[in-house]
Amino acid sequence: MNINALTEQYIDSLKGLIEIDIIYGSKRDVLLRGSFCSPIEGTETDILNRISALSGKSEVISIEPRVVIRVQLPGEIKPNRMPWLNIILFVLTLFSTIIVGAGNAGVDFITEPDLFWTDPLKIILAGIPFSFSLLGILLFHEFGHYIASRIHGVKVTLPYFIPFPNLIGTMGAVIRSKSPFITRKQLFDVGAAGPLSGMVIAVPVVIWGLTHPNFIPETADLTGSFYLGDSLLFSFISMFSHPPTPEGYIAVLSPVAFAGWVGLLVTMINLLPIGQLDGGHILYAMFGRRQHKIAYITLLALVALSFLWVGWIIWALLGLFVLKPPHPPTVLDDLPIDKRRMVIGYLCILVFILCFIPTPFIAF
The CA distance from 223 to 226, in Å, is 9
Average pLDDT over every residue of 151-173: 93
Q: Give the pLDDT of residue 28.
A: 77
pLDDT tops 80 at residue 109: no
What stretches of the chain show up as alpha helix (H) in DSSP? 3-13, 44-51, 84-104, 115-118, 120-152, 184-211, 232-241, 255-270, 278-287, 290-305, 311-321, 339-355
Q: The whole model's pTM is what?
A: 0.92
Q: What is the pLDDT of residue 340?
A: 98
CB atoms within 10 A of CB 2: 9
Average pLDDT, the chain: 92
Q: Is 3-72 assigned to CATH 3.30.1360?
A: yes
Q: Is the pLDDT of residue 278 over 90?
A: yes
Using one digit for the tens of pLDDT, what is the confidence trace for 115-161? 888 889 999 999 999 999 999 999 999 999 999 999 998 989 999 99
Asked whether residue 76 carries a pLDDT value surpassing 80, the answer given is no
Q: Where are the domains of the chain?
A: 3-72, 84-363
pLDDT of residue 66: 92
Model confidence at 363: pLDDT above 70: no
In the chain, % of residues over pLDDT 90: 73
The string of pLDDT tens digits covering residues 36-61 is 998 777 899 999 999 999 988 899 99
Is residue 77 pLDDT above 70, yes or no?
A: no
pLDDT digits (tens, 9 = 90+) for 13-38: 999 999 999 888 877 789 999 999 98
Q: Give me the pLDDT at residue 223, please.
A: 64
User: Residue 190 — left, alpha, or beta (φ > 0 → left; ψ -120 to 50 → alpha)?
Assistant: alpha
Range with lowest mean pLDDT among 79-88, 120-129, 200-209? 79-88
Q: Residues 253-259: what's their mean pLDDT?
A: 95
Task: Please state, in angstroms and as integers, the Cα–Cα distance from residue 158 to each residue in 79, 134, 142, following that order.
Answer: 16, 18, 8
From residue 162, give the alpha-carbon distance in Å to each of 45, 88, 127, 138, 266: 48, 10, 18, 11, 14
For 304-359, what is each residue's pLDDT tens digit? 999 999 999 999 999 999 999 999 999 999 999 999 999 999 999 999 999 999 99
Inter-residue contact 36 to 11 (CB < 8 Å): no
204 falls in which pLDDT band (50, 70, 90)? very high
Q: What is the pLDDT of residue 129?
A: 97
Which has the higher per-residue pLDDT, 244 or 134? 134
Tell me: pLDDT of 224 over 90. Answer: no
Query: What's the pLDDT score for residue 112?
Result: 79
Task: Report the Cα 290 to chain-centroid distance in Å.
Answer: 21
Look at residue 301 in the predicted model and tell me its pLDDT: 98
